[in-house]
Amino acid sequence: MVASDVLKGGEFLIRESNAEATFIPEELNEEQLMVRQMAEDFLKNEIVPNRPKIEKQEPGLTPSLLQKAGELGLLGAHMPARYGGTELDTNTNTVIADTLGPCGSFSTSIAAHTGIGMLPILYFGTEEQKEKYLPRLISGELKAAYCLTEPGSGSDALNAKTRADLSDDGKHYLLSGQKMWITNAGFADLFIVFAKINGEQFTGFIVERDTPGITLGEEEDKLGIKGSSTRQVFFENAKIPAENVLGEIGKGHLIAFNALNIGRFKLGVMCIGGNKEVVNMATRYANERIQFGKPIGSFGAIQYKLAEMALRNFAAESAAYRTSQLMQDKKISAEAEGKTFGQATLEAAEEYAIECSILKVLGSEVTDYCVDENVQVHGGIGFSEEYAAARAYRDSRINRIYEGTNEINRMLMVDQLFKRALKGQLDIVGPAWAVQKELASMPSFEKTEGAYGEERKAIADFKKIILMTAGGAAKMQMDGKINLKEEQEILMNCADMLIDLYSAESLLLRVEKLSDMQKKQDQALYDAMLQVYFHDVNARMLKNATDAIASFTKGDLLKTFLMGLKRFAKYPPVNVKEKRRFIADAVLKANGWCF
């Protein structure tokens, strides 16, 4: 596939995708399956038996587990071979994140180390910095933490108060300030710290733990992920060598935000991996628990929950591996242009920042649904701390907060879309104008043709709904009638439509591809999942678009918009009750995740 065939970031809104170019988990090759098995063995042999000790933060345990992960190559799978990494492709790294998703608190520790702890050095470090730190981070000899958040700056990261002042001889910076909610702080050997030089220039620094002037707060008593170390970090005239400035002075925001892109993607993937274990947990209990003389899994109300848990996560997984392939294609293209491994990896994550935010929001919110319904399936036992359902419920809540809150990520994905359109990187105006012209013409009564014709038409119509809604809001802003920065509800509506579109299209592409790979009886299950998901997305699209449009227009113009919505939100009715029962039956027979 040539580079021009690869979708740009956000381009899924205006271009048609094809199943052939989409990667799905069913295509994992022998090497990827071996890596998955290795990660599964690590989870089974090292994490599960030690989970009670991890949750109690037994001294030295998590660092020793990180070192074991390093010995297996799990910490350097995304790193260049020249520093001791294994340079595995993007899809294989996605498999690792997916497989380690059920690790609970340890997932947070390893994700922080390999992601926001290591990537800033790979992306922006000098060659000397990379050679000094990356090999030891890859082996697990050093453990990393990322110090961005402060008491007065969370989502507003650039409002940081931590400052750095250059010494008179120009050899050191004196770093002073306070960071909070720092994952791995209790055992980290290396901190990526953001501070303002002279109180003005937001800049990144590599800070070693044994630097005088660094102290730690007590471990935070958190709602969930209790086994991950989370502390405040205080700097009081900590003497940082000038050569430990990371990237360019005053350009720390580039480090902070670009490191978060891949972090968001991996968080979404880990959520999806964790959800599979939650589906297993709920299904096993539904098969075992007898009430009124039969397993509770035989009741429609429970079957609805199991089917919905599996369906939502299957759609999210489809979107995750689709995004993984897009980033891999972009990375290969960048390397072919002469970019280094680190530069190519950075460009790929930056290109698909919108998709990374979508995956973060989608994965974390599917997790919230799954863990909540898992407790409900378990009933009173699910409310007891003696059972895993309660821990999964508590652990899930942080996912909607860190790596940028879901509200921030929603606004970011819409903001990025508009910015790329204004820069000419995405031609949204042309397709939006085409939708307006279509609304002025007579509706077409052509019937859809071929397998999945209704779904392909629905995707095209969903795109029109979003273009009509977002285009209308943008025009109102241009006319000075609204200020979208002050209309966050409209941005949330648009973001939710983008998430639904991307997940629905990803699911369709996967099911289409599976139709050439599966036996006919297996395909009926995937078709059922597709139809139920599209039925629900169609309803959500109509509601989100109506809510948004009714908030910025009225009268005859509103009526025109609403007529357009009814024209485009026409996915045919589905017997979702029977199809959900069909999905639940497959899950119950397999006694868990079976996709």
pLDDT at 521: 60
Measuring CA to CA, how many Å separate 154 from each of 401, 420, 425, 522? 10, 26, 30, 47
474-480: list long-range contacts, CB under 8 Å, 24+ apart.
474/418, 476/552, 476/553
Contacts by residues 307-310 (CB-CB < 8 Å, ≥ 24 positions apart): 307/532, 307/580, 307/581, 307/583, 307/584, 307/587, 308/369, 308/373, 308/580, 309/275, 309/278, 309/279, 309/282, 309/369, 309/370, 309/373, 309/374, 310/279, 310/529, 310/583, 310/584, 310/587, 310/593, 310/595
> Which amino acid is it at 204?
G
Model pLDDT for residues 329-378, shown as the tens digit of each residue: 999 999 999 999 999 999 999 999 999 999 999 999 999 999 999 999 99
Residue 179 to residue 184: CA distance in whole angstroms: 13
Which domains are assigned to the chain? Answer: 13-143 (1.10.540.10), 145-250 (2.40.110.10), 253-408 (1.20.140.10), 425-590 (1.20.140.10)
Q: E strand or H helix at 20, and its extent?
A: none
Q: Return phi, psi of residue 70, to 5°.
A: -65, -40
Rounded to whole angstroms, the Cα distance separating 553 from 546 reads 11
Q: What is the pLDDT of residue 157?
A: 75
Mean pLDDT by 10 residues, the chain (595 residues): 69 93 95 97 97 96 97 97 96 98 95 96 97 98 96 81 95 96 97 96 97 97 96 97 97 90 95 98 98 97 98 98 97 95 94 97 98 98 95 97 95 94 88 84 74 95 95 88 92 98 98 82 91 98 96 89 90 97 98 96
- Write down the catalytic residue from 11, 150, 373, 403: 403
282/588 Cα distance (integer angstroms): 10
What is the SS3 assignment for 591?
coil
Question: Which pLDDT score, from 0 to 100, does residue 182 have?
Answer: 97
Q: Decide if 302 contacts 375 (C-beta within 8 A).
A: no
Per-residue burial over 468-489, b = 16 or more CB atoms within 10 Å of its CB, e = otherwise: bbbbbbbebbeeeebebeebee
pLDDT of residue 520: 58
Which ranges of 243-299 would DSSP assign to H, the alpha helix? 252-288
Predicted TM-score (pTM) of the model is: 0.95
- CA trace torsion 461, 356, 148, 396 (10° rounding): 90
**Catalytic (active site) residue 30:** no
The CA angle 519-521-527, to the nearest 5 degrees, is 100
Mean confidence (pLDDT) of the chain: 94
pLDDT, tens digit, 9 for 90 and up, residues 45-102: 999 999 999 999 999 999 999 999 999 999 999 999 999 999 999 999 999 999 999 9
pLDDT at 2: 42
